[in-house]
Structure 1
Amino acid sequence: MDITPAIAARTGRRDVLAAGIRAARQRTLGLLDTYVAKLGEELRVPYSAQLNPPLWEVGHVAWFYDVWLARSRQRRLGLACDPDHERLPGRLAGADALYNSSLVKHTIRWSLPLPDLAATRAYLAGSLAETLQLLAGETETPESLYFYRLSLFHEDMHAEAATYMAQALDIPLPAPLRPVERALPAATDIALPATPWRLGYDQPGFAFDNELLPHDVKLDAFAIDSVAVSWRRFLPAVEAGAVNIPRYLRRKNGTWLALRYGSWEPLNLDAAALHLSWDEAQAWCAWAGRRLPTEAEWECAALSSPPGAPGFAWGDAWEWTASRFAPFAGFVAHPYRDYSRFGFEEHRYVLKGASRATDPRMAHPRYRNFFTVERNDIHTGFRSCAL
């Protein structure tokens, strides 16, 4: 089995995690610098239900490391940690009342008396230094390293969120912070026979709680796109009136343009179609006489394409599926209890794969992303199956 960055992050030793944490923080700070260059040190942006205040976002990243590691009396217990145990005092007084996303609702975050930029940078630096110091002294057990992995993945998620927030706020992103689109090869159908499929994570190492309790799913024979749907395939449905013009697109003098981080650019027709809602993906499928794959079909195709068939390429978009986000039978929440819970309670669908803004550490074929159907601010796309 190839050791991908995602497998390494889920199973690697302390040195792998330390390198990952340093790299994640470098990306976070680079994004923060870019935001400051555009918005100024107060980092004020208009309220949006799809955004977090940028200053809150980075402070929350530092808080997450502290609450699960530096301040935790049970950080070495892994899944046996009681999330409600009394924490040690923190480096920032009152941090829980500011950054605990389970208690501080989204609308409240916009009016909090947050530390200023300099204090937030100091909070990030202190949290990073203590995290790395603690990690250097940990034993090499899954339990002892669990919260380091969780905190690293959490920072990666927020860095990707900062990337699509920059798109929404017209903030220019320089290389290498800006995702680089690629031209997709022509799509072909990959045909897979009827088969039982083991859905869910069943390998050693870290897993998110909603991935666990793998179980067999009976799949009928199906044929699925080898790549995500490109703009070249998607736009004829728009031109036919079957789908509305997607977010961040416009047509000028017969040419399609895309708004990318504050600049209108010629659309790369062979790139994956992005910033699409679940409804837009469904509308295209209805127009094309296709359908969205189920979560199990996507996973099966990604992990077991038959020898000699065109490769199943992924990593260009978070891909909508036809599967509602729901717990597998017997689900038990991990100590970060709200990670999956709110998703189960809302009307969300599973997205598979990864986008060009996703750190490779997060790009695991068993990973279950989940969003509400109207979200088109994220790097979301899709692929289709034959009817």
Structure 2
Amino acid sequence: MTDLRERVARELLRTRQRSTVLTEAVDDGDLIRQHSPLMSPLVWDLAHIGNQEELWLVRDVGGRDPVRADIDHLYDAFKHARRDRPALPLLSPREARAYVATVRDKVFDVLERVPLEGNRLTEHAFAFGMIVQHEQQHDETMLATHQLRAGDPVLAAAPPPPSTVDVSGEVLVPGGPFTMGTSTEPWALDNERPAHLVDVPAFFIDRAPVTNAQYAAFLDETGAEPPLHWSRDPGGWLATAFGRTAPIVPDAPVVHVSFPEAKAYAEWAGRRLPTEAEWEKAARWDPATGRSRRYPWGDEDPEPHHANLGQRHLAPAPVGAYPAGASPLGVHQLIGDVWEWVDSDFTPYPGFAAFPYREYSEVFFGPDYKILRGGSFGTDAAACRGTFRNWDYPIRRQIFSGFRTARDRSPGELA
């Protein structure tokens, strides 16, 4: 148990360091400002992170008295739409920082004392892992808010690595059953569960996400609307990322496209978007063993040479930059770089059971939301697995979303 407690403590600290970077990078005026009606003020996200941590770890797991029960309604994401949050009597930046610090002190005390067994919330430190993932998800949301803010650049990171191998074309994924989802991943969330067999007919899928150059060709031929943050000058297409405008990187995955835009590109190319089951089979299925891996490269946790995750870079990497992260079938960059739209609604798996609360997944099931898989350069490894499911409205473009295409296998067609 000591090793598990130490791991949880490291993850809590590492995650909070990222939240601090994102909120300390701007002044108080920027923290309280709403940079887009699609996003909350950064100070709301910060206090919401602390409030969820208090609700689940201090009060529920720890059985402690509330720190600030009077603010619960302000930071309930279901009570107030994002566009309305600036009008609420929110904690000031100074108050929000003090609040999350107080909560975190109590959480470390709970972590030291609570048995990590005996019920589903504490078994394998699930509730702590859920809170780490929740904060990391809001960190990615805050990173998207930074992308939408006007003004001088305030975030910096090393450029992503260059391409080292040629990655083009498509691969055949053989037909047959595979295990989708998980029943064993300790910190997997309810919508990833349970593991179940899915029979997927043979299909072809792109070896890499669709690139800027490929998408630009689609724009030039069709006159479609460019991705969010793109503009054009006489020299070609430009993209603005975190306050810096530069020519698009031709071989980097396109980002900030909606589901309808991704689908339109696929139809223009004579292809289609993969289904969620196809995407996961391409990412996890090992033809040599017939089993499903945790990640395309195997069962070990992501390392920097596997994938572009965790805000180490502020852009997708060129295709071919992470050969060590490829799947057994030779599909690249399924994890990290850009969230990939798939042509599936957000629905429960057979045998789904909401845990620990309906509002995490169940209330979103239905045709209003489309699935995104694989994570982006802004997704942390703690909140990204081969089974992890993200969802959003199809029209969303402010998220770090891209795609790859697929097609059916014709009768008698060879790989």
TM-score by length of 2: 0.81
CA contact (8 A) 1:301 1:312 kept: no
Q: 1:309 deviation in Å?
A: 4.1
The alignment yields a C-alpha RMSD, in angstroms, of 2.2
Q: How much does 1:312 deviate?
A: 3.4
Q: Cα–Cα, structure 1 residues 220 and 140, in superposed 2: closer, same or farther, change >3 Å? A: same
- More off after superposition, 208-217 vs 277-286: 208-217
The structure with more helix, counted as a fraction of residues: 1
The answer on whether the counterparts of 1:179 and 1:356 sit within 8 Å (CA) in structure 2 is no
Q: Give yes or no for contact 2:181–2:192 (8 Å, CA) kept in 1.
A: yes
1:96 to 72, 77, 81: 72
* Alpha carbons of structure 1 residues 235 and 46: separation in structure 2 relative to 1, 3 Å: closer
2:139 is matched with which residue? Answer: 159
Does 1:324 find its partner at 2:345? yes
1:285 and 2:274 equivalent? no
The reply on whether 1:58 has 2:41 as its aligned counterpart is no
**Equivalent residue, structure 1, for 2:127:** 147
Partner of 1:40: 29
| Residues 14-23 or 204-213, more deviating | 204-213
Q: Deviations over 1:223-258 (max 9, x none)?
A: 111111111221111000163212111121132110
2:178 & 2:154 partners in 1: Cα distance? 41
Taking structure 1 as the reference length, what is the TM-score of the superposition?
0.87
Is the CA contact (8 Å cut-off) linking 2:34 and 2:40 kept in structure 1? no
Say if 1:386 and 1:357 are closer, same or farther in 2 by CA, change over 3 A: same
Flag structure 1 segments of 5+ consecutive residues without an equivalent: 1-11, 77-86
**Matched ranges for 1:363-378 at <5 A:** 363-378=384-399
* Secondary structure in 1 matching 2:78: coil
For residue 105 of structure 2, what is the aligned residue in structure 1?
129
> Which residue of structure 1 aligns with residue 57 of structure 2?
69
1:195 Cα deviation from its structure 2 partner: 0.8
The match for 2:380 is 359
Q: Which moved more, 1:150-159 or 1:124-133?
A: 124-133
Aligned AA (1:94): D
Correspondences of 1:203-222 after superposition (within 5 Å): 203-222=184-203
TM-aligned CA distance change 1:163 to 1:186, over 3 Å: same
Secondary structure in structure 2 of the residue aligned to 1:347 = strand
User: What is the aligned-residue identity percentage?
Assistant: 30
Secondary structure of 1:323's counterpart equals: strand
Do the aligned partners of 1:56 and 1:99 also contact (CA within 8 Å) in 2?
yes
Q: Deviations for 1:253-296, whole angstroms, at most 9, x for unmatched residues? A: 13211011122112111111000000010010011011111111
- Residue 313 of structure 1 is matched in structure 2 by 333
SS at match of 1:291: coil
The code of the aligned residue for 2:22 comes to L
**Aligned match of 1:82:** none
Q: Which residue of 2 aligns with 1:223?
A: 204
Shift of 1:336: 2.9
Most deviating of 17-26 and 184-193: 184-193
Change (3 A) 1:185 1:339: farther
Structure 2 residue ranges without an equivalent (≥5): 289-327, 409-415
